[in-house]
Amino acid sequence: MKLMKQIFLFRGIGIGKKEKIGTRLIVSFLVLPFLLSFGFLTYLLFSKLMANIIMFLILILSELLISGIGTFFLYRLLHIKFWFFKKLENRRLLYRHLLENRLFYTVKKKDRNDKIKFPKVYFKQDKYTISVSFQLEGRQFQDKFLNIGGALEIMYSADLMDRKTEKGYITYVYSADTILSRISANAVRVGKQGLKLMEDVYWDYVHNPHLLVAGGTGGGKTVLLRSILNGLLRIGIVEILDPKQADFVSLNELPVLKDRVVYEVSDMIEKVIQVKENMEVRYATMRQMQKDKNQKELGNFQEYDLKPVFLMIDEFPSFRSMIAEDRENFIQAELAMSALKQLVLKGRQAGFFVITSTQNVKSDDLPSTLKDNIMTRISVGRLSQYSYDVIFGEENKNKEFKYVEEVNGERVFGRGYFGVSGTPAREFFSPKLPSSNEFSYYTEFEKLERLELEFDKQETIISVYSAKALAEELGVDYRLFKKYKSEFETAGQEFGKTFGSSDLILFETAIKLKTSGKTYQEAITESIL
């Protein structure tokens, strides 16, 4: 089956002169009923009209004007409402772009006008995406096709989602009519693909762990965070830090979030440290389960039917500033930031994930250790170009991030961009809040069952190792242990003065990979991922 797909790979419909002919046929088809109707009317009134030439001219001009306006209205209506006609229009735009930029071959004919021949360009569109493929293979326009993505992005008023080069072709994939895939806030749920945020957008927290949400005042950030909460509370435990005491404090009285929303400095510090300790307990629990099942390698939390845990920090810069200014808890604040880094670096396998939110992002708002390891990023509302650069990274440096207030003539909130680290950002619409008569977060959260962690800390032994003790536990020479530690730190991994269960598992994985024939760098990288 895979071979057959490769042989009969469908890249789309080839672009050529038929696009121009197709447009003429549509216009002719639309204008024909008007012409026939007015022609029949003129025929019925012909004798009277001939007696009054002025009325005859007025009628003809009126018929032409009404036919023109009616045809234009129907043409626009079809292209706005019906996907098939949108597709035809997008093909026509691509044809016009090739023609006006002289991206065609001229074939000379004897005693006749030269013939235009287009290169192999294929167009494909489904409900949410547009794909345009260009033949490369060292052809005349190869260099231009390798750099045409930005021009098409502007032409289609779409967002470049992917750029794939394979088998002599380059394919650009764009989002199309993204707003059509917007969902209701009440429809946000976790499924096999992750947390559903749009019909075709998911936060796959297992494979792209941790989430950054950025949005200016009035951009829809709070609605997005509460929608995310609506999905996650159904399948896991969510702990919330609300340093500004603005959007989540009122939820603390609900059974599902009782004592899980904190805002005082000391409570927030304690909460972060507590969640990190729970991660270590989770790793110790998983390690015991691994032994009970006689498994050679430790699986991730899902393999042991364990619930995910999410730490949501609203307005992260405010949280960081508050704990930094609290001199009485200076040491604990340092421990909290260290614990947060450990959660981001090591939480994925154990099912611990961090969600941070902020407004316009500055380079020093997020420590590099956190930013580099938060794989999924979302923006909503108006942000500065600098913020976009910080959020979406080097791979989007040439992308034109647009701020849009209206879509199809209607004011829209919650529009922004969604991206996974290392890939192009795409247009995004956060879940839409239904009317207050139909839905309220507070009422919805009241219905939810409170979920608890699967272990009792008093019954689970958390091992704490010194460097030498960890080397002994791993069964390796201390000098070799220091070699692995050095390689981990070079890769950005941070360690405290002592080591926990998560560190033990990290080193075990790297040692097994190295023993299987991997280089130190490969073993370190794969064990972190």
Tell me the pLDDT tens digit for each residue of 447-503: 999 999 887 554 555 678 888 888 888 888 888 888 888 888 887 777 877 888 888
Domain boundary among 148, 175, 202: 175
Nearest Cα neighbor of 125 from 166, 84, 180, 157 is 84
Statement to judge: residues 308 and 389 lie in one domain: yes
Statement to judge: residues 330 and 232 lie in one domain: yes
| Residue 70 is assigned to a ligand binding site | no
> For residue 424, what are its two tokens?
């192009």
| Residue 220 is assigned to a ligand binding site | yes
Length of the chain measured in residues: 529
- The CATH number of the domain holding residue 487 is 1.10.1660
Query: Which amino acid is present at 195?
Result: L
Contact between 134 and 121 under an 8 Å Cβ cutoff? The reply is yes
| Residue 443 is assigned to a ligand binding site | no
Give 68-86 pLDDT, tens digit per residue: 888 887 777 776 677 677 8
Contact between 159 and 173 under an 8 Å Cβ cutoff? The reply is no
* Model pLDDT, residue 459: 56
Domain that holds residue 507: 467-527
Contact between 130 and 156 under an 8 Å Cβ cutoff? The reply is yes
Nearest Cα neighbor of 199 from 438, 418, 441 is 418
**Residue 486 counted as domain residue:** yes
20 pLDDT tier (thresholds 50, 70, 90): confident
Calculate what percentage of the chain has a pLDDT beyond 70: 94
The answer on pLDDT for 431 being more than 90 is yes
Which residues fall within 8 angstroms of residue 527, CB to CB, at 6 or more apart? 506, 509, 510, 513
Nearest Cα neighbor of 419 from 224, 216, 213, 225 is 213
The overall average pLDDT reported for the chain is 84
* Model pLDDT, residue 122: 93
Number of domains the chain is built from: 3
> Could you please report the per-residue DSSP string of 340-406?
HHHHHHHHHHHTEEEEEEESS--TTTS-HHHHHH--EEEEES---HHHHHHHH-GGGTT------SE
| Residue 216 is assigned to a ligand binding site | yes
Statement to judge: residues 441 and 475 lie in one domain: no
CA 91 – CA 118 distance, rounded (Å): 14
Residue 134 pairs in a beta bridge with 121, 170
| Residue 150 is assigned to a ligand binding site | no
The answer on pLDDT for 297 being more than 70 is yes
Rounded alpha-carbon distances, angstroms, from residue 306 to 209, 255, 351, 462, 488: 16, 21, 8, 18, 27
> For residue 6, what are its two tokens?
């490769």
Residue 172 pairs in a beta bridge with 132, 163
| Residue 221 is assigned to a ligand binding site | yes
CA 419 – CA 391 distance, rounded (Å): 9
CA 75 – CA 64 distance, rounded (Å): 16
Helix (H, G, I), strand (E, B) or coil at 289: helix
* Model pLDDT, residue 258: 92
**Residue 454 counted as domain residue:** no
* Model pLDDT, residue 292: 84
Statement to judge: residues 208 and 294 lie in one domain: yes
Greater model confidence, 394 or 462: 394
**Residue 452 counted as domain residue:** no
Q: Is the dihedral of CA 258, 261, 266, 268 positive or negative?
A: positive
In this structure, the dihedral spanned by the alpha carbons of residues 124, 126, 131 and 134, taken in order and rounded to 10 degrees, is -10
- The CATH number of the domain holding residue 226 is 3.40.50.300
Contact between 374 and 344 under an 8 Å Cβ cutoff? The reply is yes
Statement to judge: residues 261 and 409 lie in one domain: yes
The answer on pLDDT for 16 being more than 50 is yes
Q: What is the mean pLDDT of residues 166-188?
A: 88
Statement to judge: residues 473 and 439 lie in one domain: no
> For residue 114, what are its two tokens?
């030269």
**Residue 422 counted as domain residue:** yes
In this structure, the dihedral spanned by the alpha carbons of residues 415, 347, 299 and 492, taken in order and rounded to 10 degrees, is 100
Statement to judge: residues 478 and 435 lie in one domain: no
Statement to judge: residues 129 and 218 lie in one domain: no
CA 401 – CA 279 distance, rounded (Å): 37
Contact between 349 and 205 under an 8 Å Cβ cutoff? The reply is no
Q: At what angle do helices 478-490 and 467-474 cross, to 10 degrees?
A: 110
**Residue 460 counted as domain residue:** no
260-296 core/surface letters (b: 16 or more CB in 10 A; e: else)? bbbbebeebbbbbbebbebbbbbbbbbbebbeeeeee
Statement to judge: residues 471 and 512 lie in one domain: yes
439 pLDDT tier (thresholds 50, 70, 90): confident
**Residue 52 counted as domain residue:** yes
CA 206 – CA 348 distance, rounded (Å): 7
**Residue 292 counted as domain residue:** yes
Contact between 99 and 121 under an 8 Å Cβ cutoff? The reply is no
The answer on pLDDT for 151 being more than 60 is yes
Statement to judge: residues 198 and 171 lie in one domain: no
Calculate what percentage of the chain has a pLDDT beyond 90: 30
Statement to judge: residues 95 and 54 lie in one domain: yes
| Residue 492 is assigned to a ligand binding site | no
Q: Is the dihedral of CA 140, 144, 149, 151 positive or negative?
A: negative
**Residue 283 counted as domain residue:** yes
Residue 385 half-sphere exposure, CB side, CA atoms within 13 Å?
6
Q: What is the mean pLDDT of residues 418-427?
A: 87
| Residue 423 is assigned to a ligand binding site | no
Q: Is the dihedral of CA 358, 369, 495, 210 positive or negative?
A: positive
Q: How many CB atoms lie within 10 A of CB 463?
A: 16
The three-state DSSP-derived secondary structure of 104-161 is CEEECCCCCCCEEECCCEEEEECCCEEEEEEECCCCCCHHHHCCCHHHHHHHCCCCEE
> For residue 75, what are its two tokens?
């043409």
Statement to judge: residues 419 and 338 lie in one domain: yes
Which residues fall within 8 angstroms of residue 435, CB to CB, at 6 or more apart? none
